[in-house]
Structure 1
Amino acid sequence: MPLTGSCFCGQVTYCITAPLRAARSCHCSRCRKAFSGAGSAYAEVEPGSFAWKSGADNLSGYESTPGWGLCFCRTCGTTLCGTHDGEVHGVTLGTIDGDPGVTIGMHLFVGSKAPWDHIGGDARQFEGFPE
């Protein structure tokens, strides 16, 4: 502790001072496109525990639905985090340096996963978003 992370090109870096929580992978078509893969690997951050260390001026954002969005590095395109109402809500696990201290605890929207995707492990799977 603390956790650090960065984009592929290293221009954008961040720090998290509290443990991550609610790690999940979403397999919906939107996450497949946003993360360029089978889905997302994402964990929530404790409010107030996230800070950009460098390169915040190199970020670009996209609001996918009102209040909810993603931030990307303008240089390399790495999806770094999700936002809610302008604040960082969680981070993509692949951008964390070292062990994030969490494992995927659930798979969301498996009802719309790609036909080529095979979900392994024993994490719970939900057809949509769990109630």
Structure 2
Amino acid sequence: MNLSGECFCGEIKYEINGKLLDARSCHCSRCRKAFSSQASAYALVDPSEFQWVSGAEFLTSYVGEHGFGLQFCKKCGSTLCGVYQDEVHGVTLGCLNEDPEIEIGRHIFVGSKASWEVIPEGVPQYEEHPPENA
């Protein structure tokens, strides 16, 4: 499967030559701030199947003390991907141009979700991290 994505202003573009995995929505307070939304919509990607096509010079990063972080467009502020130890770990589903043929499979950190959010029924929910085998 070939997928493409881009930021809001279109300066940064990427391609994925493969499938996305483990789509999830995180409802923790940090994700709400990072994504300026009630939750994140994120899926994992094999780093070897991801490549920047154009605009990489417009990327800026925030990386926390444990090596996890996010990359953004310097011009428009779009959150494009997550990184771990300097490699792309996953992508934000909202920046994809095509149907990724994946659905949110779980909601995590619902124990700290915003009081005004209503999570739809029918998808597994976890108060914090899901169990290892989930």
* Shorter-normalised TM range: over 0.9
Which aligned runs of 4 or more in structure 1 are off by greater than 2 angstroms? none
Measured against aligned partners, the alpha-carbon deviations of 1:50-91 in whole angstroms (never above 9, x if no partner) come to 000000010000013321000000000000000000000000
Deviation at 1:98, TM superposition (A): 1.9
Counterpart of 1:84?
Answer: 84
- TM-score (ref. length: structure 1): 0.97
- TM-score (ref. length: structure 2): 0.95
Q: Relative to structure 2, which stretch is displaced further, 59-68 or 87-96?
A: 59-68
Does structure 1 residue 29 correspond to structure 2 residue 23? no
Q: Distance in 1 between matches of 2:29 and 2:16?
A: 29
Give 3-state SS (helix, strand or coil) of 1:48's partner. Answer: helix
One-letter amino acid of the counterpart of residue 3, structure 1? L
> Root-mean-square deviation (CA), in Å?
0.8
Unaligned 5+ residue runs, structure 2? none
Unaligned 5+ residue runs, structure 1? none
Percent of aligned pairs with the same amino acid: 55
Q: Distance in 1 between matches of 2:14 and 2:37?
A: 23
Counterpart of 1:119?
Answer: 119
